[in-house]
Amino acid sequence: MAGASADEMLAIDCARELTRDHKLSDATFAAARARLGDRGVVDLIAAIGYYAMLAVCHVALGIQPGK
């Protein structure tokens, strides 16, 4: 993504892999762990999971963004 920092790209890569594959590749996990540490990786994965769950709930309930 144009203009995204290295940290933002790491978070984007993690989110894409988790939502597409339901896991992180070894390379992405290693990069996240090196940059964020164990606690940071857990926090990032938890945040991605939380927002993915909200998206599923919104779709299931027919909730439109901004409503």
Residue carrying the six token digits 């939502």 = 19
pLDDT band (50, 70, 90) for residue 67:
low
How many domains does the chain divide into? 1
Residue 37, pLDDT above cutoff 90? yes
Reduced DSSP (H G I as helix, E B as strand, rest coil) percent helix, strand, coil of the chain, to 5: 80, 0, 20
Half-sphere exposure of 50 (CA within 13 A, CB side): 6
* pTM (predicted TM-score): 0.86
Is 20 inside a domain boundary?
yes
Pairwise CA distance, residues 13 & 17, whole Å: 6
Is 1 inside a domain boundary?
no
Residue 58, pLDDT above cutoff 70? yes
Is 21 inside a domain boundary?
yes
Question: Which residues span the domain enclosing 43?
Answer: 6-61
Is 67 inside a domain boundary?
no
pLDDT at position 15: 98
Mean pLDDT over 33-53 rounds to: 98
% of residues, the chain, pLDDT over 70 = 99
